[in-house]
Amino acid sequence: MTLDLDASLALLRTCKYLPEADMTALCARVKALLLEESNIQPVQSPVTVCGDIHGQFWDLLELLRVGGEPPETGYVFMVSAACPCELAMLASLHKVWAPSSVQKGARRSGGRARCQHKYGNANVWKACCQVFDYLNLAAIIDGRVLCVHGGLSPDVRTLDQIRIIARAQEVPHEGAFCDLMWSDPDDIETWNVSPRGAGWLFGATVTKEFNQINGLDLIARAHQLVQEGYKLMHDNAIVTVWSAPNYCYRCGNVASIFRVDDLLAPGRAAQLLPDEEHGAEANGGGGVGRDHFRIFEAVPDQDRTTPARMNLTSAQYFL
């Protein structure tokens, strides 16, 4: 079937749903695109890196307003897939419309009840799950900046080890695949057990060794709420980017997106310097600093709606 992408995007931007036939066809097209892509999808700068969105549809529209619309602006999304139907639809449409714009997602279950309520069956939810199963595990920008949802794994020392993981599956409970989705950097030296019950805590020595072995300047990741929107750690070898402002409508945090351009040339990522306000300082001698992080706030409550038929609580909305 022929899908009118412009008309579909216009409809979704009002937080309305695509017909079931259109949505299942869209998922099939996205899956076909993903089948041609690597576990670590190469991306060229300039590109904008985004962290978790957590189903906050109206804040995603604000993110696109701040960062620029696809296809003029390319994006790497390091998000979990726990999202409502309308956000999954919008992301899928942008993937078809500009295949380089939506590159990375971590997978979690979520949204079945919402799809069931809207469509009267689970067909759309199942189609979305098939897409989620084929999402890339990571992206690499100009061969120098690795984008991954969670973090590193004691089972992975090289990028080639990520490239051979079988990704068309649910996230396992342990192992390299799990760790890439669930691990977190911490103020330790090497490895420690994660309080999440999945993945690991990893320290500065681990991050720096991984970057050196793989010729990386920086690891960009999401997965953790940061009140200031982003946080640099491990002597600026890794940055957490968080893109869900006022998370769950109660945390009061700002969000950020990270613009990677030609200033982030080989070796320049080390020139990211911390400051007290936002964790990075513009470097007058070149390199990347505060200006590469765009900070934005949540859309006001009066400017956001949910589809009339659903009547879900805000807590359910983010499951």
Catalytic residues, by residue number, are 94
Strands (E) in the chain, as ranges, are: 40-43, 47-50, 75-77, 79-80, 105-106, 138-141, 145-148, 184-185, 191-193, 200-202, 218-221, 230-233, 238-241, 255-260, 293-296
Tokens at residue 179, please?
A: 């760790």
DSSP output for 104-142? BEE-----HHHHHHHHSSSHHHHHHHHHHHTSBSEEEET
Rounded CA gap, 47 and 258, in Å?
Answer: 8
Spacing of C-alpha 95 from chain mean position: 13
- Stated as kind and residue range, the H or E segment containing 21 is helix 20-35
Tokens at residue 182, please?
A: 């669930």
| Cβ within 8 Å of residue 257, ≥6 positions away | 48, 49, 50, 63, 66, 67, 241, 243, 293, 294, 296
Rounded CA gap, 56 and 35, in Å?
Answer: 27
Helices (H) and strands (E) in the chain, counts: 10, 15
CB 114, CB 89: distance < 8 Å: no
- How far the first Cα of the chain sits from its last, in Å, is 32
Rounded CA gap, 145 and 41, in Å?
Answer: 12
